[in-house]
């Protein structure tokens, strides 16, 4: 796996000092992705725990993506796009804002701490803000520890639910 | 085969001893969670068990689980390692199986050992002693008497318990049951007076035989000749195609095989329950579906039970437990349906009069 | 009863509709009835056991009903809210359907119930229902009915869950979801689940694993709740159909509370009101966004 977090100490036994969270960022093509690119070209130092997935718009970010990421081992999620009023598709981020409000409440009700997800507005010129979102999220997830409340891919092997 | 008896206290002690010896006990008990329905599940002792209530779930899930891993794979460098799932089964006892559920195990044996011997199924079968409990006659959805069984049927059971004051009368029905009883004979006593047990079974038989008795042979013939019939589409109008009837059926055994990657390093092949009531059951990759509507799908379920399975294995794929009718949220009713087909068959086959349905 | 039967007969005789979907007595309680010939209309009934939401039979997914394109359907006040969602989302044409509204004073949770409605037996959805007289209808029948006995069990249970820790809630739902056998009965009976091809049936890629393990079950139950957020009319048919008794109504009700609190939306019989997740306000609160 080429994009594995560097020497990640994982599993419930990992203490939070050595635990390297895996964070998946779903970002929009027009603002946040460009902002993240700016952070890189500006050589801003930031945590290397975040893997970016670029989508056309936050309006295209289905909660299903977040669920799948958790299922496959993510400890934290970033969803980020254009500031309200700046959406390339005019209204995509307004819809995303409502959708993620509901999704966070659903996670909370099902017993998954919604603080596992960061939702941010990062524009194409906000390279510094992107670095801060990445660093803040990494720090927070590191404090929370590995995601243990989600049934992970590796945990289904020996289950016998209907016994 | 002999008849013995067991006191409730002795049964409780026997279960404790079995547990201590590592035997898994499966019995009707309340499921965890909000619904608290009675299901067959692993129990830790006699106090968990609710004897004499037909569980909402079926016994089959302990022989054919809703989902089970049958193969795994792991990537090791350039090659792929295949991991066989174990088909071993630790010794188990099912206590308090309803006669219709015990019989279903034997019915399904036929297809599980037909062209391919299913080791998962048969190893579990061989590891399990089935102790059934005589039924009190069931409710208005039951029709075991129409499919060749009865509230006191011992088919598929190694021993059968009949409730009497303070315990159970025990009927031994197989050599395996006999051997098992002898192994634990200190817990059993002499049969004694059988008046109570006989009265229980007579009451049960009277209750069940009052319900309609559709004639299964003529229904089978009608099904064979009426694949194309308006009845099917009319019948299926209220059907949601949810398949709950097949899920709770003790004899429905169709499954799907899926490969599930579990990260980049490996994954599992799993066997999952499937249902002929779902459109995806027969959906082709081309988009064509040979069973395009609910009428065709409902017909398949009825045909499989009362025509196809009997033609191949010489018995009905139904033990009359009535769960399909009880679980249906839109009120489809198996006994009603069989009665309707019986009536249609009587018109084409005058030898079977509609009145015959009510004759014991 | 007679006015319902007469109306059904007339609609069929005059050729206004091809089928009348209502309620009849079945072997086990009340069940849906499909009347295609005038002489069958006498089977139609309406009482406190008519718990089913028949609007689900208007869903375009039901291919086997396509032979009867012009349908009349018997609706209670709560059911008309499902009609409104189907209209709002352009899945039915108002001209194609005849809505026969019945005045309703609440229904039992079970179609097999007997006796008068009590706080114990009344369906959860009737607890806060104020529609005694459906409005989105072509015909309004029945005598005026009193309000049903109150019942706050669903709200109480949600309150209990909300007062728990994340770990306790996770344990509660793991317990429930682990019983799921993935029959998808909840979806099949749902009037709002009209997709020709459900996300749970898609295999390229397989988003929702079909296996009945906790991982697949969690994904399924979560996405089902999400897809119904702001669309669910709270009819409770999912929970009634579930063969293993998972309290699905709790999830739907919780999300209904969320869209009410944040977007001021409640299920309505007005098809002109936009759905809360298909609309937005530019000043929606965003305190959770960095």
Choose from B330, B339, B340 for mutation: most chain C CBs within 10 A.
Answer: B330
Q: Report the pLDDT value the prediction gives residue C153, as an integer from 0 to 100.
A: 85
Taking an 8 Å cut-off on Cβ atoms, the answer to whether B262 and A73 are in contact is no
Edge-to-edge strands, sheet with C19-25: C30-35, C19-25, C71-75, C97-102, C139-141
Specify whether the CB–CB gap between C27 and B335 falls below 8 A: yes
Q: A158 pLDDT exceeds 50? A: no
Q: Report the pLDDT value the prediction gives residue B348, as an integer from 0 to 100.
A: 74
Provide the phi-psi class of A57: left if phi over 0, else alpha when psi is between -120 and 50, else beta: beta
User: What residues of A are in the B interface, CB distance below 8 Å?
Assistant: 1, 72-73, 153-154, 156-158, 160-163
Minimal Cα–Cα distance from C140 to chain B, Å? 24
User: What ipTM describes this predicted complex?
Assistant: 0.94
Alpha-carbon distance B122 to B110, whole Å? 11
Interface partners of chain B (CB pairs < 8 Å, 3 or more) are A, C
Specify whether the CB–CB gap between B94 and B26 falls below 8 A: yes
Q: Where in chain A are the domains?
A: 23-162
Interface partners of chain C (CB pairs < 8 Å, 3 or more) are A, B
Interchain CB contacts (distance < 8 Å): B and C: 133
The mean pLDDT value for B50-62 works out to: 92
Contact with chain B for residue C64, Cβ under 8 A: yes
Minimal Cα–Cα distance from B66 to chain A, Å? 7
Q: B22 pLDDT exceeds 70? A: yes
Contact list in A for residue B62 (CB cut-off 8 A) is 162-163
Minimal Cα–Cα distance from A65 to chain C, Å? 9
Contact list in C for residue A161 (CB cut-off 8 A) is 178-179, 212-214
Q: A15 pLDDT exceeds 80? A: no
Q: Report the pLDDT value the prediction gives residue A162, as an integer from 0 to 100.
A: 33
Q: Report the pLDDT value the prediction gives residue A149, as an integer from 0 to 100.
A: 85
Q: Report the pLDDT value the prediction gives residue A11, as an integer from 0 to 100.
A: 45
Contact list in B for residue C33 (CB cut-off 8 A) is 238
Minimal Cα–Cα distance from A5 to chain C, Å? 23
Q: Report the pLDDT value the prediction gives residue C43, as an integer from 0 to 100.
A: 97
Nearest to A20 by CA among A31, A34, A32, A7: A7
Contact with chain B for residue C204, Cβ under 8 A: no
pLDDT digits (tens, 9 = 90+) for B263-275: 778 889 999 999 9
User: What residues of A are in the C interface, CB distance below 8 Å?
Assistant: 63-64, 67-68, 71, 84-85, 91, 94-95, 97-106, 108-114, 118-121, 133, 136, 149-153, 155-156, 159, 161-162
Nearest to B98 by CA among B256, B303, B320: B320
Q: A42 pLDDT exceeds 90? A: yes
Q: Strands of C26-110 (E only): list them.
A: 30-35, 71-75, 97-102
The mean pLDDT value for C243-268 works out to: 95
Instruction: Give the side-chain half-sphere CA count within 13 A for C117.
Output: 24
Choose from A31, A81, A98 for mutation: most chain C CBs within 10 A.
Answer: A98
Residue A78's pLDDT band, with cuts at 50, 70 and 90, is: very high
Q: Which residue of A has its CA nearest to B25?
A: A163
Contact list in A for residue B260 (CB cut-off 8 A) is 156
Phi (first) and psi of residue A78, to 5 degrees: -120, 130
Percent of chain C exceeding pLDDT 70 equals 100
User: Helices marked H in C49-139 — which ranges?
Assistant: 77-88
Q: Which residue of B has its CA nearest to A70?
A: B263
| Architecture, CATH, for domain A23-162 | 3-Layer(aba) Sandwich (3.40)
Residue B349's pLDDT band, with cuts at 50, 70 and 90, is: low
Residue C118: Cβ within 10 Å count: 12
Minimal Cα–Cα distance from C199 to chain B, Å? 12
Residue A118's pLDDT band, with cuts at 50, 70 and 90, is: very high
3-state SS of chain B is: CCEEEEEHHHHHHHHHHHHHCCCEEEEEEECCCCCCCEEEEECCCHHHECCCCCCCCCHHHHCCCCEEEEEEEEEECCEEEEEECCCCCCCEEEEEECHHHHHHHHHHHHHHCCCCCCHHHHHHHHHEEEEEECCCCCCCCCCHHHHCCCCCCCCCCCEEEEEECCEEEEEECCHHHHHHHHHCHHHCEECCCCHHHHHHHHHHHHHHHCCCCCCHHHHHHHHHHCCCCHHHHHHHHHCCCCCHHHHCCCCCCCEEEEEEECCCCEEEEEEEECCCCCHHHCCCCCCCCCCCCHHHHHHHHHHHHHHHHHHHHCCCCCCCCCHHHHHCCCCCCHHHHHHHHHHHHHHHCCCCCHHHHHCC
The mean pLDDT value for B273-294 works out to: 94
Q: B318 pLDDT exceeds 70? A: yes
Contact list in B for residue A161 (CB cut-off 8 A) is 66-67
Q: Which of B238, B258, B335 is the closest to C211 by Cβ?
A: B258
Q: Report the pLDDT value the prediction gives residue C60, as an integer from 0 to 100.
A: 84
Q: Which residue of A has its CA nearest to B268?
A: A157
Minimal Cα–Cα distance from C63 to chain B, Å? 6
The mean pLDDT value for C204-231 works out to: 95
Q: Which of B66, B261, B264 is the closest to A162 by Cβ?
A: B66
């Amino acid at each position: 796996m080429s994009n594995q977090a560097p020497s990640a100490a994982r599993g419930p036994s990992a203490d939070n000092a050595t635990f390297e969270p895996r964070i998946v960022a779903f970002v929009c093509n027009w603002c946040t992705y460009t902002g993240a690119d700016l952070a890189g070209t500006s050589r801003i130092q930031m945590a290397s725990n975040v893997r970016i997935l670029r989508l056309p718009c936050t309006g295209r970010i289905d909660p299903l993506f977040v669920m799948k990421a958790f299922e496959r081992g993510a400890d934290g999620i970033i969803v980020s796009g254009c500031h309200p009023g700046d959406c390339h598709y005019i209204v995509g981020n307004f819809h995303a804002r409502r959708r993620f409000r509901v999704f966070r409440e659903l996670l909370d009700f099902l017993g998954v701490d919604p603080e596992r997800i960061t939702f941010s507005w990062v524009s194409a010129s906000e390279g510094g803000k992107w670095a801060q979102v990445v660093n803040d999220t990494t720090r927070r997830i590191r404090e929370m520890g590995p995601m243990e409340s989600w049934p992970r891919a590796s945990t289904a092997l020996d289950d016998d639910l209907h016994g | 085969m002999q008849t013995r008896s067991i006191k409730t206290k002795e049964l409780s002690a026997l279960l404790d001893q079995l547990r201590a010896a590592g035997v898994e006990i499966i019995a009707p008990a309340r499921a965890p969670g909000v619904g608290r329905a009675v299901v067959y599940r692993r129990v830790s002792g006699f106090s968990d068990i609710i004897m004499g209530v037909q569980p909402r779930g079926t016994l089959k899930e302990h022989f054919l689980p809703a989902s089970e891993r049958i193969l795994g794979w792991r990537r090791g460098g350039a090659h792929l390692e295949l991991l066989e799932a174990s088909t071993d089964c630790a010794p188990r006892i099912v206590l308090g199986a309803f006669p219709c559920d015990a019989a279903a195990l034997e019915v399904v044996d036929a297809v599980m050992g037909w062209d391919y011997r299913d080791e998962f199924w048969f190893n579990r079968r061989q590891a399990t002693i089935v102790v059934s409990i005589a039924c009190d006659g069931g409710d208005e959805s039951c029709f075991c008497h129409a499919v060749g069984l009865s509230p006191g049927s011992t088919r598929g059971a190694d021993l059968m318990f009949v409730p009497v004051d303070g315990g159970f009368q025990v009927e031994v029905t197989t050599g395996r049951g006999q051997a098992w009883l002898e192994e634990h004979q200190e817990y059993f006593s002499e049969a004694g007076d059988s008046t109570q047990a006989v009265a229980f079974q007579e009451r049960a038989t009277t209750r069940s035989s009052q319900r309609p008795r559709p004639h299964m042979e003529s229904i089978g013939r009608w099904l064979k000749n009426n694949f194309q019939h308006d009845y099917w589409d009319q019948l299926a109008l209220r059907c949601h195609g949810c398949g709950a009837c097949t899920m709770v059926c003790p004899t429905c055994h169709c499954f799907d095989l899926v490969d599930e990657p579990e990260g980049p390093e490996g994954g599992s092949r799993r066997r999952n329950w499937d249902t002929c009531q779902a459109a995806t059951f027969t959906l082709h990759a081309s988009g064509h579906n040979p069973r395009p509507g609910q009428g065709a799908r409902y017909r398949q379920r009825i045909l499989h039970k009362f025509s196809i399975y009997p033609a191949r294995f010489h018995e009905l794929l139904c033990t009359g437990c009535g769960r399909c009718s009880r679980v249906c949220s839109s009120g489809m009713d198996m006994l009603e349906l069989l009665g309707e087909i019986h009536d249609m068959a009587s018109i084409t086959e005058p030898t079977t009069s509609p009145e015959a349905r009510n004759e014991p | 009863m007679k006015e319902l039967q007469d109306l059904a007969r007339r609609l069929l005789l005059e050729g206004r509709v091809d089928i009348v979907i209502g309620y009849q007595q079945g072997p086990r309680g009340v069940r849906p009835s499909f009347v295609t010939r005038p002489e069958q209309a006498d089977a139609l009934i309406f009482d406190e056991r008519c718990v089913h939401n028949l609007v689900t039979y208007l869903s375009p997914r039901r291919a086997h009903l396509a032979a009867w394109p012009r349908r009349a359907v018997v609706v209670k006040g709560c059911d008309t809210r499902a009609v409104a969602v189907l209209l709002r989302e352009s899945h039915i044409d108002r001209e194609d359907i005849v809505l026969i509204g019945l005045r309703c004073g609440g229904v039992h949770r079970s179609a097999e119930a007997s006796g008068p409605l009590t706080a114990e037996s009344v369906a959860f959805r009737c607890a806060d229902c104020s529609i005694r007289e459906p409005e989105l209808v072509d015909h309004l029948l029945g005598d005026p009915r009193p309000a049903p006995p109150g019942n706050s069990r669903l709200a109480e249970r949600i309150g209990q869950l909300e007062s728990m820790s994340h770990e306790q809630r996770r344990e509660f739902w793991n317990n429930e979801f682990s019983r799921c056998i993935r029959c998808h009965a909840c979806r099949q009976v749902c009037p709002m689940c009209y997709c020709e091809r459900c996300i749970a049936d898609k295999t390229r890629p397989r988003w929702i694993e079909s296996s009945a393990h906790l991982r697949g079950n969690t994904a399924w139950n979560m996405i089902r709740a999400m897809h119904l957020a702001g669309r669910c009319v709270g009819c409770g048919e999912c929970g009634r159909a579930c063969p293993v008794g998972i309290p699905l109504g709790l999830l739907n009700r919780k999300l209904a509370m969320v869209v009410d609190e944040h977007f001021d939306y409640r299920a309505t019989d007005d098809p002109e009101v936009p759905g809360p997740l298909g609309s937005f306000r530019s000043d929606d609160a965003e305190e959770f966004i960095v």
